[in-house]
Chains A and B, each alone.
Chain A
Amino acid sequence: MLASEQNTEPKTAPAGRDPVLSLVELRTSFDTFDGTVRAVDRVSYDIAPREMLGLVGESGCGKSLTALSIMGLVPTPPGRVEGSIRLNGRELVGLEEKEMRKLRGSEISMIFQEPMTSLDPVMRIGKQIVEPLVQHQGLSGPEARARAKDMLDRVRIPEATRRLDEYAHQLSGGMRQRIMIAMALVCRPAVLIADEPTTALDVTIQAQVLRLIRDLQTEMNTSVLLITHDLGVIAESVDRVIVMYAGRKVEEAPVSLLFRRPQHPYTVGLLGSVPKVNRAGRPAKGRLLEIPGIVPALNQPIRGCRFAPRCRLATDRCRAEEPPFETKAPGHSAACWHSDKAMEIAGE
């Protein structure tokens, strides 16, 4: 289709810095009995060194799958990952599992949404933190343990030495998420992917954990891909934002521009569904789903703009042709035929 041609996407990463991680036309699909489900559809973006990039979108839009694709953790088959993922210039798509394994946990790490279940319940905390060191750096014994303790100090866990010998069930949710962060960063990876790291936590704890991620990012020179439902979290933490809808990237902008002048009706809708002041409490899960209408099935070819069935600005053109992803303002791009009118639907 024409779409791919039109999608020569402008690079929006801050100029002059080579990206640490670079996705070009990433597609992640699943072969199912009902045809191929394109869960991530030709998504491109870069993450610059020491940048914190936000990835937002409704449930099911492909955020986690993007992350898992980068990690090489999409089960294949039935999954299929195509396109290009470059980590410091090195191609990850099609990389042998053995090579990929060497990068996981050392060059690129991930933390997950569910701190309650993401730690091994029957292995001591210390051993779990040490594992990547043993695997990737060949450390062992007291040396590895010292590194683990140092990491616990960094994630501000009191009485670190004692905690090393405890089990996950002895810790609170916030502590477990800190442990996850410690474990992910222990080898000083170039990129940290945080998939909704605070969704399962209390509001006060959320803020602490976010601050911790931000502080460690600076401290350890790591780039972070922060995946979230929560535009409040985005507003507070990230430098730049990618908005995804039904497997596609629909908008990309520095955070301030995105909030001030969203160029895509979907983003406008997302922003509209967030309470004005985030301090009062994060939007409840599922709040973003309040934009009425149906998400298109991902197992069929989609004609035109995939947001059209839910878009109040949709015209015949929208339903016939997929809008190109193009620069609307410096550093700000979106895929919408009527982006100039996008703000009109805000506040309605």
Chain B
Amino acid sequence: MTIYIIRRLLATIPVLLIVAVVVFSILYLAPGDPAAIIAGDQATVSQVEDIRRNLGLDRPFHEQFLNWLGDIVRGDFGQSIFSNRPVIDLFLQRLEPTLALALTTTIITILLAVPLGVVAAWKAGSWIDRLVMSFAVVGFSFPVFVIGYILIYVFSITLGLLPVQGYRSLEDGFLPFISHLILPSLALAMSFMALVARITRASVLEVLAQDHIRTARSKGLTTGKLLFSHALPNAAVPIVTIIGVGIAILLGGVVVTESVFAIPGVGRLVVDAILARDYPIIQGVLLIFSGVYVALNLLLDILYTFLDPRIQY
């Protein structure tokens, strides 16, 4: 087991390296001269050259890449071109709202989508099933920001139940915190839920046709137990896998959602960086998010052993 974990850990290194190469090359190839941008409009040619040399921008690609990578490994993600502050600081400063949003979204998704998928499978072919599956297709077709605006329109503008935008830290109390998070989380959860509900239904449906379910029924178990202690645990591996896949949707969706709901998180940081062409920030966030994605999926992989005793490493 430990050996397996170590092997899997090692296996993520090449993936992360490729991510680093991709991210670095994208921005290396970017048009525009970072040195000139940093130097500003008033700078002379020699000032720009100085900056270029200081930043190592005159070196060949692989040298620049290795330097950059070395810095990253040491936790130095470079500095924002505009604010001159370390990217990692800016990132950490914006982390809390993003983390809160991602967590509530994941919780909402799992708590709603999994039971919905299970019930749809149990009542396969019924109107409940059709409703859940229609929701899954529809939820997957709306862009997250349109869902966000629809929610704002209904719950904030028309009904006046929830705040339109913004973010409150948990320190300001739970109610303001959660009331600001509900709509963005729901908007962000929609496509995630569609994905999870759909896979849950399919895998539970498959399990329900298995012999051991008939055994469980012959024991006189209640439907609830049948579904949630037998069918669902047997369907857990594909569900967990799809949750892992969905994390990518989540991490990407955060950027858009924060933008719609004016949440001062990492996503907003990225959007502002794009508009300002602040490449180090884009690079940094891209790397960190990819790292998080890879790490979470590694965790889920390890989780499989606990979900299915037949899986042995």
- When A122-B233, A123-B230, A123-B233 are in contact, do A135 and B225 touch as well, CB less than 8 Å? yes
- When A120-B230, A122-B234, A122-B308 are in contact, do A135 and B211 touch as well, CB less than 8 Å? no
Rounded to whole angstroms, the CA-CA distance of A122 and B211 in the bound complex is: 13
**Proximity string of chain A (146-176) to chain B, C-beta cutoff 8 Å, 1 when within and 0 when not:** 0000000000000000000001010000000
Rounded to whole angstroms, the CA-CA distance of A311 and B217 in the bound complex is: 40
Rounded to whole angstroms, the CA-CA distance of A103 and B220 in the bound complex is: 7
Q: Which of B214, B219, B222 neighbours the largest number of chain A CB atoms within 10 Å of its CB?
A: B219
Rounded to whole angstroms, the CA-CA distance of A71 and B211 in the bound complex is: 15
Which residue in B212, B236, B307 is a CB contact (below 8 Å) of A117? B212
Which of chain B's residues have a CB closer than 8 A to the CB of A119? 212, 215
Which of chain A's residues have a CB closer than 8 A to the CB of B236? 122
Interface size class of B (residues with CB under 8 A): 20 to 34
- Is residue A80 contacting chain B, with contact meaning CB distance below 8 A? no
- Is residue A180 contacting chain B, with contact meaning CB distance below 8 A? yes
Which of chain A's residues have a CB closer than 8 A to the CB of B310? 121-122, 167, 169
Which residue in B210, B219, B230 is a CB contact (below 8 Å) of A105? B219
Q: Judging by beta carbons under 8 Å apart, are B234 and A120 in contact?
A: yes
Rounded to whole angstroms, the CA-CA distance of A104 and B234 in the bound complex is: 23
Q: Judging by beta carbons under 8 Å apart, are A105 and B229 in contact?
A: no
- Which residue of chain B has its CB nearest to the CB of A132? B219
Which of chain B's residues have a CB closer than 8 A to the CB of A120? 212, 215-216, 230, 233-234
Q: Judging by beta carbons under 8 Å apart, are A101 and B222 in contact?
A: yes
**Proximity string of chain A (92-135) to chain B, C-beta cutoff 8 Å, 1 when within and 0 when not:** 00000000011111100110101001111111000000011001
Rounded to whole angstroms, the CA-CA distance of A101 and B234 in the bound complex is: 22
Q: Judging by beta carbons under 8 Å apart, are A118 and B212 in contact?
A: yes
Q: Judging by beta carbons under 8 Å apart, are B212 and A105 in contact?
A: no
- Is residue B42 contacting chain A, with contact meaning CB distance below 8 A? no
A-B contact pairs, 19 of them (CB 8 A): A73-B214, A73-B218, A102-B220, A104-B218, A104-B220, A105-B218, A112-B214, A112-B215, A117-B211, A118-B212, A120-B215, A120-B230, A121-B212, A123-B230, A131-B216, A135-B219, A135-B221, A136-B220, A183-B215
Question: Taking beta carbons and an 8 Å cutoff, which residues of B are in contact with A?
Answer: 210-212, 214-222, 225, 229-230, 233-234, 236, 307-310
